[in-house]
A and B are shown apart, each in its own frame.
Chain A
Amino acid sequence: MKKHLMLVALVSALALVAASCGGDEEGGETGPTGPTAETGAGVTQGGVVREELTDFGFTGAFDPTGEYLGTAWSWYQQMLIRGLLMYPGVAGEEGNVPVPDLATDLGQVSADGLTVTFTLKDGVMFGPPVDREITSQDIAFAFQRINTESLVAQYGNYYCGTIVGMTCDAKSQDEPIEGIETPDDKTIVFTLERPTGDLLYRLAQPATYAMPPEVAGCFDKAGDYGRFLISSGPYMFMGSEDLDITSCDTMKPIEGWDPDSHMYLVRNPNYDAATDDVRDANFDGWTLTINTNLEDSYNKLLNGELDLLHGAPPAAILQQYLTNPDLQDNFKSEEGDRTWYLTMNLLVPPFDDIHVRKAANFVVDKAAMLQSTGGPSSGLIATTIEPPSVLPDLADYDPYASPNHAGDVEAAKAEMQQSRYDEDGDGVCDDPACDNVLMVNRNYEPWTEYTPILQENFAEIGINLKVRELEVGTSYTTIQTMNNLVPIAANAGWGKDYGSPYGFDFFLFNTAGLSCEGSVNYSNVGITEDVAKECGDNVVDAYNAAVEANGEIPNVDADMEACVATPLGPEYNACWAALDQKLMEEIVPWVPYRWGAANIALGDTVENYTFDQSAGLIAYSKIGVNNGLTIEEVTGTA
Chain B
Amino acid sequence: MSQVTDQEVVEATQELGGAEPSSSIIGRTPWQIFWTRFRRDKVALAATGFLVLLAIAAISAPLIADLVGHGPNDLYRETLDEIGLPTVGPSAEFYFGVDTSGRDVFVRTIYGARTSLTVALLATGIAVVLGTILGSLAGFHGRWVDTLISRSMDLVLSLPVLLFSIGIAATCSITAEGCLGGLIEPGVSLVTGIIALFTWPYIGRIVRGQVLTIRNKEFIESARSVGAGSGRILFRDVLPNLAAPIIVYGTLIIPSNILFEAALSFLSVGIPPDTPSWGRMLSDAANGQLYTVAWWMLFFPGMALVLTTLAFNLVGDGLRDALDPRTQVQG
Contact = CB atoms under 8 A, between A and B. Distances in A.
Interface of A: 294-295, 313-319, 322, 368, 371-377, 436-438, 440, 443-446, 448-449, 451-453, 455-456, 466-471, 474, 478, 481, 484-486
Contacts of A469: 268, 273
Given A315-B288, A484-B175, A456 B83 contact: no
A468 B290 contact: no
B116 to A, nearest CB: 19
Nearest to A367: B77
A449 B101 contact: yes
A315 B274 contact: no
A478 B83 CA distance: 30
A478 B174 contact: yes
Ranked nearest first, the 3 interchain pairs of A and B with the lowest CB-CB distance are A314-B288, A438-B176, A468-B173
Contacts of B166: 471
Q: Is the interface of A mostly helix, strand, loop or mixed?
A: helix
B73 interface: yes
A452 B280 CA distance: 14
A59 B166 CA distance: 24
Nearest to A451: B273
B174 A314 contact: no
Nearest to B74: A456
Interface residues of B, number: 29
B287 A444 contact: yes
Contacts of B292: 316
Interface of B: 73, 75, 77, 80, 82-85, 100-101, 103, 166, 170, 173-176, 186, 268, 272-274, 284, 287-290, 292-293
Contact of B289 (A314, A474, A486): A314
Contacts of B77: 368, 371
A437 B176 CA distance: 7
Contacts of B288: 294-295, 313-318, 445
A314 B290 CA distance: 8
B115 to A, nearest CB: 16
A322 B84 CA distance: 13
B273 A448 contact: yes
A322 B85 CA distance: 12
A384 to B, nearest CB: 24
B100 A319 contact: no
Contact of A451 (B82, B85, B174, B274): B274
A467 B290 contact: no
B83 A452 contact: no
Contacts of A440: 173-174
B173 A470 contact: yes
A448 B268 contact: yes
Contacts of A468: 173-174, 186
Contacts of A316: 85, 288-290, 292-293
B221 to A, nearest CB: 57
A316 B175 CA distance: 35
A319 B174 contact: no
Contacts of A444: 268, 287
Given A371-B77, A452-B274, A453-B101, A319 B83 contact: yes
Nearest to A372: B84
Nearest to A368: B77
Nearest to A442: B268
Given A316-B290, A451-B274, 20 more contacts: A294-B288, A313-B288, A315-B83, A315-B85, A318-B83, A319-B83, A368-B77, A371-B77, A371-B84, A372-B84, A376-B82, A440-B173, A445-B288, A449-B100, A452-B73, A467-B272, A470-B173, A478-B174, A484-B174, A486-B174
23 contacts: A295-B289, A314-B287, A314-B290, A315-B85, A315-B288, A316-B288, A316-B293, A318-B83, A319-B85, A371-B80, A371-B84, A372-B100, A375-B83, A445-B100, A448-B268, A452-B73, A452-B101, A456-B75, A466-B176, A468-B186, A470-B173, A481-B174, A486-B174
Contacts of B101: 372, 449, 452-453
A480 B289 CA distance: 33
Given A317-B289, A470-B170, A436 B176 contact: yes
Contacts of A322: 83
Contacts of A485: 175
Most buried by A among B85, B173, B174, B290: B174
Contacts of B284: 445, 448
Most buried by A among B80, B83, B101, B284: B83
Contacts of A373: 84
A321 to B, nearest CB: 10
Nearest to A441: B273
Contacts of B85: 315-316, 319
A371 B83 contact: yes
Nearest to B272: A467
A471 B100 contact: no
A374 B273 contact: no
Nearest to B287: A445
A210 B103 CA distance: 55
Contacts of A467: 272-274
A377 B174 CA distance: 33
Nearest to B187: A466
Contact of A452 (B273, B289, B290): B273
B150 to A, nearest CB: 35
Contacts of B84: 315, 371-375, 446, 449
Nearest to B83: A375
Given A314-B288, A319-B293, A373-B84, A438 B175 contact: yes
A175 B176 CA distance: 49
A363 to B, nearest CB: 14
A368 B102 CA distance: 11
A145 to B, nearest CB: 35
Contacts of B103: 452
A455 B73 contact: yes
A484 B175 CA distance: 7
Contacts of A319: 83, 85, 293
Contact of A456 (B73, B100, B186): B73
A399 to B, nearest CB: 25
B46 to A, nearest CB: 37
Contact of A377 (B83, B173, B289, B293): B83
Given A319-B293, A451-B274, A375 B174 contact: no
Contacts of B290: 314-316
A350 to B, nearest CB: 13
Contacts of A484: 174-175
B71 to A, nearest CB: 10
Given A444-B287, A474-B170, A315 B100 contact: yes
A478 B85 CA distance: 31
B175 to A, nearest CB: 6
Contacts of A478: 173-174
A11 B317 CA distance: 79
Nearest to A481: B174
A481 to B, nearest CB: 8
Contact of B274 (A318, A455, A486): A455
A431 to B, nearest CB: 15
Nearest to A538: B175
A471 B170 contact: yes
A346 B4 CA distance: 72
A358 B292 CA distance: 40
A452 B268 contact: no
A462 to B, nearest CB: 16
A374 B85 CA distance: 8
B83 A466 contact: no
Contacts of B100: 315, 372, 445, 449
A393 to B, nearest CB: 30
Contacts of B83: 315, 318-319, 322, 371, 374-375, 377
Contacts of B174: 440, 468, 478, 481, 484, 486
Contacts of B273: 448, 451-452, 467, 469
B75 to A, nearest CB: 6
A371 B82 contact: yes
Contacts of A317: 288-289
